[in-house]
Chains A and B, each alone.
Chain A
Amino acid sequence: MKIKTDFITNSSSTSFILIYGTEFGLDEFLELVGMKKESDFSFLFARIYQELWEKKEPIRDTYDDDTIKERFSKEVLSRILEAEKKGKKVFAGTLSSENDEIESFFCTDSFIIENDTFYLNAINCIW
């Protein structure tokens, strides 16, 4: 697993990109982020799973190649094009810091989680 973290901002929203091949549920998501299901703190990642899955939309409903390059990066665009070529599902969405502290935390934090099952990029903060 690769994890990249970055600067912290006072952004009010963060665009995210989510890529995966086959559907997976909350239990697998917890496993993939490294939080044991029986932990008292699994609620934190269960909440972010819920937010991501509720807010994700097929990326091509919103973004064309130029917008992806502009709002994320050339590297992210390449990754998306490669994933699309392999038939993977690519989604985008927005988290907001206007809601509760948990969504606000994941919104204002910047991170990439990458493993064999999924790729989550929440680096792009909008001030």
Chain B
Amino acid sequence: MIYPYSIGGSTERYFLTIGKHFNRRKFLKKVKVKKGSHAEEVFGRIYDELMSETIDIQREYRKYYAEEYGDIREFLYQKLNVRQSLIDNLIEETNRGRRVLSGRNYSSKDYVISQLIFSETMLEKLNKLLL
């Protein structure tokens, strides 16, 4: 799932939850594009944009913040200013063994792809695929 959120209303960010073995090849297979095609090029860019410069939240917490914050819930709330309802969703996803990645929109500078990803219809379809 992709969960868009913002900090202070300016920087657009998102959490991306994926299965442990999710990768580019599996993503493109699920999208159903043909190898070497224009569609593969477009959806390859979508995958790259989503994954670009993302941070694994659980790893980040364990490595740098475990001493400072009692648990990941506290870390998400106090350090990252994430609202409680979203924290509940993310914790539920981690309990199901999924990875939680944090990313910023437009991080790869592929502006048009980012705009497409976060359009209403596309986000809905991507979330269905990423479940």
Task: Flag whether B25 is at the interface (Cβ < 8 A).
Answer: no
How many residues of A are counted as interface, with CB atoms below 8 angstroms from the partner's CB atoms?
24
| B contact patch SS | helix
Task: Flag whether B14 is at the interface (Cβ < 8 A).
Answer: no
**Closest partner residue, chain B, to A114 (CB atom):** B38
A34/B110 in contact, CB under 8 A:
no
Task: Flag whether A24 is at the interface (Cβ < 8 A).
Answer: no
A113 contact set on B, CB distance < 8 A: 38
A8/B110 in contact, CB under 8 A:
yes
Task: Flag whether A111 is at the interface (Cβ < 8 A).
Answer: yes
B125/A41 in contact, CB under 8 A:
yes
Q: How far is the CB of B68 from chain A (nearest CB, A)?
A: 40
A102/B119 in contact, CB under 8 A:
yes
B41 contact set on A, CB distance < 8 A: 3, 5
| B37: contacting residue among A8, A35, A101, A109, CB under 8 A | A35
Q: How far is the CB of B106 from chain A (nearest CB, A)?
A: 11
**Closest partner residue, chain B, to A112 (CB atom):** B38
Please report which residues of chain B, range 90-127, place their CB below 8 angstroms from some CB of chain A when the two chains form the complex.
Answer: 110-113, 115-116, 119, 121-122, 125
B34 contact set on A, CB distance < 8 A: 34-36
Q: How far is the CB of A72 from chain B (nearest CB, A)?
A: 19
CA distance A36 to B40 in the complex (A): 11
Residues 1-13 of chain A, each 1 if its beta carbon lies under 8 Å from chain B, else 0:
1010100100000
Residues 34-76 of chain B, each 1 if its beta carbon lies under 8 Å from chain A, else 0:
1111111111000000000000000000000000000000000
B115/A34 in contact, CB under 8 A:
no
| A39: contacting residue among B32, B38, B110, CB under 8 A | B32
Task: Flag whether A33 is at the interface (Cβ < 8 A).
Answer: yes
A109/B129 in contact, CB under 8 A:
no
Beyond the given A1-B38, A3-B37, A35-B37, could you list 10 further A-B residue pairs with CB under 8 A, ordered by the A residue number? A1-B36, A1-B37, A8-B112, A34-B38, A35-B34, A38-B32, A40-B125, A104-B115, A105-B116, A111-B38
Q: List 29 interface pairs A-B (beta carbons < 8 Å), by A numbering.
A: A1-B36, A1-B38, A3-B37, A8-B112, A33-B37, A34-B33, A34-B34, A34-B35, A34-B38, A34-B39, A35-B32, A35-B34, A36-B32, A36-B33, A36-B34, A39-B32, A40-B125, A41-B31, A41-B32, A43-B121, A43-B125, A45-B39, A101-B119, A102-B119, A102-B121, A104-B112, A105-B113, A105-B115, A108-B112
Chain A to chain B: the 3 pairs with minimum beta-carbon distance, closest first: A34-B37, A101-B119, A39-B32
